[in-house]
């Protein structure tokens, strides 16, 4: 069997080679698709930490994706209209600087995950799924009914936000930036998997009672994982909004939560690069099958069914076979 | 007389009309094996849960080294020095035995919230983990998959994980269950040396093991301790003979 690390290397290489080839062949749309795949993969890397390593089936990760998106939308809209975000008690202005936006997106989604996690981790199993779903939908309806930032119509940002030293409006540069962010996050998640925290998190997933009896506060452990997970997905949300230069309540919708989950299942639950493979496959299917038929999701459904029934480890799991564990 | 390591004071627990624990008092002295026996449904598991965590008694309290731990969670009691093994092996089946004992070492060290340094390269934790594996004789299986271990090996691993906690007291729920004569004998010998490190509260059905190991025995029937004493006391206790050992054993 192929070692997972080689599979990961191939996945990452493909994700870079395709847009570079597209640049060479002058196909900017392909670069944009690749960027979309990278950003959605990042969102799924976030969820994978909770769902894969932690065993916490969150059906409401759209909440963090949306909060990240709106962090970008709100800050950038104030910047483009030259209106301050608030004046009392102190002045906060909008910004079009990505590093600032990312920081706000990460902090806001982490805080939200802290609140939602603290409440929903009191439940488990199906109830956990339902509670997280309910929180996500709550935010969705809130975004629809809040008129200040476009309500149902969403919010357009006319110029992509800036990153020092880059021209983010050039597709390949924005791709490179997103890919770099993904790589940094992947490296951190990889280290986290190998760390004492990762050992405990996955151990508690396999046997909660065991983890408690060796003195691990499982609830707190999971809450921390949930917060990190939400923060990563929130960062992806900010990038996604910048890719489209548009935010709307759809980012909060449960379809989005389901989609992120599908990337993980397709690619391989709890596998480091599973979300990358899953999101890429999804984008490819969406593009090519979507070109053939309006009802392409029927075929997606069939593929998903096949993976769930016959190839539980997803793409990466099917190729690597080895159980996920510490090396 | 020395102070008890673990003391259970007047614990009662009811489920509706059923009194699962009825004013139970028992203690565990340094260096002893205290066996808890009783027929099925006597409330042994309920009592163990109240001592090790997971179930709060209606009345009474549990003290570890003089400290009241009744209100603490399972995890906090483990941190305080109570180490428990399960009747049905509770192990991380997707991990190797080495990873299982590492989990114990990590939990006990309290260093769960460390996110960046690889745990499998932590020399101090590794040393403790290997030591525990060696003591139960599992070092050759350290890198196998736990789900592929035999039943007896899982029982040994269960004890190894308990060892990594460097506990003040062990609570062992039928460690010999389903082990076979030879494995049972080996574990009995091992527990005999282990009690010097930390006393053991032993729940066990294997009477040979109980009589060979125990310094004291308490008999639990319908949630009540009907007798506590030495092996000979219990063997000859008339109430115990009728309630539990049965006449054929007394012959």
- Residue A326 is predicted with a pLDDT of 46
Question: Inter-axis angle of helices B123-136 and B151-164, to 10 degrees?
Answer: 140
pLDDT score of B249 more than 60: no
Peptide bond into A13 cis (omega under 30): no
- Residue A321 is predicted with a pLDDT of 66
For range B10-21, the mean pLDDT? 92
Span of A311-325, B26-40, B162-176 with lowest mean pLDDT: A311-325
CB contact under 8 A, A207 and B93: yes
Question: H helices within chain A, ranges in order?
Answer: 4-24, 28-48, 62-81, 98-120, 125-145, 171-194, 196-206, 208-213, 218-244, 254-267, 274-292, 296-310, 314-320
- Residue A283 is predicted with a pLDDT of 95
Average pLDDT, chain A: 94
CATH code of the region B1-81+167-251 = 3.40.50.300
Between CA A202 and CA A271 the distance in angstroms is 12
* Domain assignments of chain B as residue spans, ordered by start: 1-81+167-251, 91-166
For residues B47 and B214, the answer to whether their CB atoms sit within 8 Å is no
- Cβ within 8 Å of residue A172, ≥6 positions away: A19, A20, A23, A31
For range B149-159, the mean pLDDT? 92
Reduce the DSSP state of residue A294 to 3 states and report it.
Answer: coil
pLDDT score of B248 more than 80: no
- The full 3-state SS of B42-71, as one line of letters, equals CCHHHHHHHHHCCCCCCEEEEEECCEECCC
Domain A4-320 part of CATH 1.10.3470 = yes
Q: How many residues does chain B have?
A: 251
Residue to substitute from B69, B81, B91, B115, interface A, most A β-carbons within 10 A:
B115
- Residue A322 is predicted with a pLDDT of 60
* B52 vs A contacts (CB less than 8 Å): 213
For residues A315 and A268, the answer to whether their CB atoms sit within 8 Å is yes
- Residue B207 is predicted with a pLDDT of 82
Residue A257 half-sphere exposure, CB side, CA atoms within 13 Å?
25
CA of B125: how far to CAs of A292, B132, B154, B159, in Å? Answer: 57, 11, 21, 17
Between CA A103 and CA A143 the distance in angstroms is 21
- The listed range with the strongest mean pLDDT (A306-315, B86-95, B172-181, B240-249) is B86-95
Q: What ipTM was estimated for this complex?
A: 0.91
* DSSP string for residues in A63-97: HHHHHHHHHHHHHHHHHHHT-EEE-SSS-EE---B
* Domain assignments of chain A as residue spans, ordered by start: 4-320
Percent share of chain B, pLDDT over 90: 72
CB contact under 8 A, A210 and B52: no
- Residue B181 is predicted with a pLDDT of 84
Q: C-alpha angle with apex A321: A317 to A327, nearest 5 degrees?
A: 95
Confidence of residue B208 (pLDDT cuts 50, 70, 90): confident
- Residue B236 is predicted with a pLDDT of 85
For range B214-221, the mean pLDDT? 93
- Residue B1 is predicted with a pLDDT of 61
Encoding tokens for residue A43? 């969102």
Give A42 to chain B, closest Cα distance, Å.
19
Give A112 to chain B, closest Cα distance, Å.
21
Q: Compute the count of residue pairs across chains A and B with CB atoms less than 8 Å apart.
A: 121
Searching chain B, which residue's CA lies closest to the CA of residue A215? B75
- Residue A56 is predicted with a pLDDT of 97
- Name the nearest CA neighbour of A304 among A269, A252, A265: A265
Residue A187 half-sphere exposure, CB side, CA atoms within 13 Å?
5
Determine whether B8 is exposed, middle or buried from the number of CB atoms within 10 Å of its CB (0-12, 13-18, 19+).
buried
Among the partner residues B84, B115, B145, nearest to A195 by beta-carbon distance: B115
- Residue A317 is predicted with a pLDDT of 87
**Over the range B72-93, which residues count as b (16 or more CB within 10 Å of their CB) and which as e?**
bbbbebbbbbbbbbbbebbbbb
pLDDT, tens digit (0-9, with 9 covering 90-100), for A202-219:
999 999 999 999 999 999
CB contact under 8 A, B86 and A209: yes
For range B199-208, the mean pLDDT? 89
Give A67 to chain B, closest Cα distance, Å.
25
Searching chain A, which residue's CA lies closest to the CA of residue B52? A213
pLDDT score of B4 more than 70: yes
Question: H helices within chain B, ranges in order?
Answer: 44-52, 74-80, 97-109, 123-136, 151-164, 181-194, 207-213, 231-236, 238-240, 246-250
- Residue A1 is predicted with a pLDDT of 55
* DSSP string for residues in B69-96: -TTS-HHHHHHHTEEEE-SS----TTS-
Low-confidence ranges of chain A (pLDDT < 50): 326-327
- Cβ within 8 Å of residue B212, ≥6 positions away: B188
Confidence of residue B214 (pLDDT cuts 50, 70, 90): very high
């Amino acid at each position: 069997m192929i070692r997972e690390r080689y599979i990961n290397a191939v996945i990452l290489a493909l994700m870079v080679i395709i847009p570079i080839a597209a640049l060479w062949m002058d196909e900017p749309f392909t670069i944009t698709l690749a960027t979309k795949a990278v950003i959605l993969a990042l969102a799924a890397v976030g969820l994978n930490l909770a769902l894969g390593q932690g065993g916490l089936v969150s059906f409401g990760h759209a909440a963090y994706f949306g909060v990240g998106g709106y962090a970008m939308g709100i800050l950038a809209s104030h910047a483009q209209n030259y209106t301050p975000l608030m004046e009392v008690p102190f002045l906060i202005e909008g910004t079009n600087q990505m590093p600032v936006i990312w920081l706000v997106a990460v902090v806001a989604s982490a805080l939200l995950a802290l609140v939602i996690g603290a409440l929903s981790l009191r439940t488990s199993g199906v109830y956990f799924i339902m509670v997280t779903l309910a929180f996500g939908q709550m935010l969705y309806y809130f975004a629809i009914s809040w008129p200040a930032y476009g309500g149902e119509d969403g919010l357009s940002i006319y110029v992509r936000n800036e990153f020092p030293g880059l021209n983010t409006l050039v597709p390949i540069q924005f791709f490179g930036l997103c890919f770099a962010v993904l790589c940094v996050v992947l490296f951190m998640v990889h280290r986290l998997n190998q760390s004492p925290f990762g050992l405990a998190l996955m151990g508690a997933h396999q046997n909660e009672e065991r983890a408690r009896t060796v003195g691990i506060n499982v609830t707190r452990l999971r809450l921390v994982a949930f917060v990190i997970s939400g923060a990563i997905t929130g960062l992806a949300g900010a990038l996604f909004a910048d890719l489209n230069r548009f935010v709307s309540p759809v980012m909060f919708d449960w379809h989005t939560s389901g989609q992120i989950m599908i990337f993980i299942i397709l690619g391989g639950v709890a596998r480091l690069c599973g979300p990358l493979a899953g999101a890429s496959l999804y984008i490819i299917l969406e593009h090519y099958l979507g070109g053939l038929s309006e009802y392409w999701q029927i075929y997606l459904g069939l593929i998903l069914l096949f993976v769930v029934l016959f190839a539980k480890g997803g793409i990466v799991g099917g190729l690597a076979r080895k159980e996920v564990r510490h090396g | 007389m020395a102070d008890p390591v673990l003391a259970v004071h007047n614990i009662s627990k009811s489920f509706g009309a059923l009194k699962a624990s009825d004013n139970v008092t028992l203690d565990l002295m340094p260096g002893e094996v205290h066996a808890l026996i009783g027929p099925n449904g006597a409330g042994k598991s309920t009592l163990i849960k109240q001592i090790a965590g997971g179930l709060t008694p209606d009345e009474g309290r549990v003290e570890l080294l003089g400290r009241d731990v009744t209100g603490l969670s399972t995890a906090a009691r483990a941190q305080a020095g109570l180490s428990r093994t399960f009747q049905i092996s509770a192990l991380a089946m997707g991990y190797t035995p080495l990873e299982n004992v590492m989990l114990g070492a990590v939990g006990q060290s309290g260093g769960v919230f460390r996110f960046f340094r690889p745990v499998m390269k932590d020399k101090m934790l590794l040393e403790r983990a290997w030591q525990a594996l060696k003591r139960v004789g599992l070092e050759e299986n350290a890198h196998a998959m736990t789900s592929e271990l035999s039943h007896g090996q899982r029982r040994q691993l269960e004890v190894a994980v308990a060892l990594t906690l460097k506990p003040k007291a062990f609570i062992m729920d039928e460690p010999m269950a389903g082990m076979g004569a030879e494995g049972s004998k080996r574990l009995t010998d091992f527990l005999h040396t282990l009690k010097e490190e930390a006393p053991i509260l032993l729940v066990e059905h294997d009477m040979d093991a109980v009589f060979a190991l125990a310094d004291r025995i308490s008999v639990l029937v319908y949630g009540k301790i009907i007798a506590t004493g030495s092996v000979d006391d219990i063997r000859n206790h008339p109430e115990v003979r009728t309630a539990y050992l049965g006449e054929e054993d007394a012959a």
